[in-house]
Amino acid sequence: MKLVFDDITLAPFEDETCLRAKISDCYGIAAPAEITILKKSLDARHKRRIVYRYRVMAEIPQSIAQALLKLKGVSPFTAAPPASATLARAPGLEVIIVGAGPAGLFCGLRLIEAGATVTILERGAPVEERHHDILTLKSSGMLNPESNVLFGEGGAGTYSDGKLTTRIHKPETAWFFRTLVESGAPETILYEQKPHLGTDRLVPILRRIRGRIQAAGSKIIFHARVVDFLIEHGMTRGVLTHDGQAYRAAAVVLATGHSARDMYALLLSRGISLEKKGFAVGLRVEHPRALIDAIQYGPAAAGNLLPSAEYTLTFNHRATGRGVYSFCMCPGGEVINASSEQGRLCINGMSYSARNAEYSNAALVVSVSPSDLSGHPLAGIAWQRELETGAFLAGGSGFTAPAQRITSFLDGRLDTDLPASSYRPGLHAALHTYLPAWLSDELKAALRVFNSRMRGFITREGVLIGVETRTSSPVRITRDAQYEAINQPGLFPVGEGAGYAGGIVSSAVDGIRAADAIVKKIHPLGA
């Protein structure tokens, strides 16, 4: 009989091969021949007893199992429903997908599984070429507006840590994770509480996904920026790219990400319904990794047995009604340039799979509601651009980033020097005066609260780097329950850029669900 054993713990120095013996010791039974790890998490709440907690399934003889079921932490194993399969077959269906980020790629894979043919148009470069362009920006401050941290194969997620943590529980999530593993991701992502790939792992995974799409007879076309829609008799029938090439299909999936600002302008000019949505902006904070490890792990940090420490911080300011929170925490990572427009600077963070770099960083951002902005649907983008222009000028107009020590930010002082940083092409000591006063005040209030929860967070060794604006889209492309734009039939906006997702997993799942909706709507079952 298959039983589930909850809360089996291992010390950081113990190997997972010890789990069978742990079950034997805890329950007084022979060690199971085989086990399957269902969940793994790190519990660092008690710094003098940091442990890994496991949920494990094992085959136990029926005679013993019945007695074990009376004990706390033991339950019968119930298999999860299989990963949601494609709902219908769609041979002959052709679909254009604009954007090769998580939403676009997994929408394409789902459609291909249904028998459809897809053409994915990506304005940026394949990962190999894209990596070269990003290294050039880091070393020389030369930006390629079409190939950077935000644009190119894999989307922004490729260069923002590869986090697979999600709060959604839709059945398509299992299909996404299964497909990732089939494409080369480690099976540990199936049970880790906070699965993480890292950019170095994502690159070969993306190559395999590209090969899978091409082997099915579909295409990914790079350096193909969409500049218009082909609309015939009120229906979206294709797109036009910047080089004058027309592509036609039965449906167009718009999966362009939250930074394709020219696409929002095109949608507005075409009368496609847009609305403002909430987002967040702020600064990125960077500390020495050893400092964050010491704060979070205490004496246990000295053993080098634990992974680089993470943190999640939130502050709800009752006086103003705003929320301030950490976002995209990158332990053992680096701060990166996430700009996509000349003369405008924004930043992000990333980690490689080992997460063992010298510094740890996270965004500290303040919530912005639609009511904070003017009535124009693109008001959020206009404000983002204003902040990014201010950061670019404050940093010296060469993609060096304006920065202040945390202590200096709180005191309103200009630094005479700055701590070392992972950011390239480098930091420039500057006051964050391009931020509106209310936003700075919110960050200052939050920093003091965060320091009360993580003693030592406020330190001269910590540096605030600006500006972080691309946490999510400030625009939503309104669509119906079938994922179709409400006033433009044949156009299916998905993912972060459409305003319906946030992160790799939710974006991919949004694309998967849109694919199923397209198959049902355009190529119904039995047709």
Would you state the pLDDT for residue 84?
A: 67
Tokens of 91: 């041979």
Q: Are strands 226-232 and 235-241 parallel, antiparallel or unpaired?
A: antiparallel
Pair 301, 290: CB distance under 8 Å:
yes
Would you state the pLDDT for residue 87?
A: 63
Pair 266, 231: CB distance under 8 Å:
no
Q: What is the SS3 assignment for 13? A: coil
Pair 367, 322: CB distance under 8 Å:
yes
Tokens of 93: 């269906």
pLDDT in tens, 408-434: 999 999 999 999 999 999 999 999 999
pLDDT in tens, 7-48: 899 999 999 999 999 999 999 999 999 999 999 999 999 999
- How high is the mean pLDDT of the chain? 94
Cα(292)–Cα(288) distance, integer angstroms? 7
Would you state the pLDDT for residue 294?
A: 96
Cα(446)–Cα(296) distance, integer angstroms? 18
Which residue from 236, 322, 292, 293 is spatially nearest to 462, judged by alpha carbons?
292
> CB atoms < 10 A from the CB of 386, how many?
14
pLDDT in tens, 480-494: 999 999 999 999 999
Cα(125)–Cα(129) distance, integer angstroms? 6
Pair 527, 493: CB distance under 8 Å:
no
- Mean pLDDT, 10 residues at a time, the chain of 527 residues: 95 95 94 95 94 96 93 91 69 95 97 96 96 93 95 88 76 91 94 90 94 97 98 96 97 96 97 96 98 96 92 95 95 96 96 95 97 94 98 96 98 96 96 97 98 97 97 97 97 97 93 94 66
Tokens of 223: 């350096």
Pair 131, 208: CB distance under 8 Å:
no
Enumerate residues 6+ apart whose C-beta is below 8 A from 370: 275, 276, 277, 278, 380
Would you state the pLDDT for residue 157?
A: 82
Pair 19, 10: CB distance under 8 Å:
yes
282 bridge partner residues: 365, 468
Cα(21)–Cα(12) distance, integer angstroms? 16
Tokens of 20: 């069978």
Pair 350, 161: CB distance under 8 Å:
yes
Would you state the pLDDT for residue 526?
A: 47
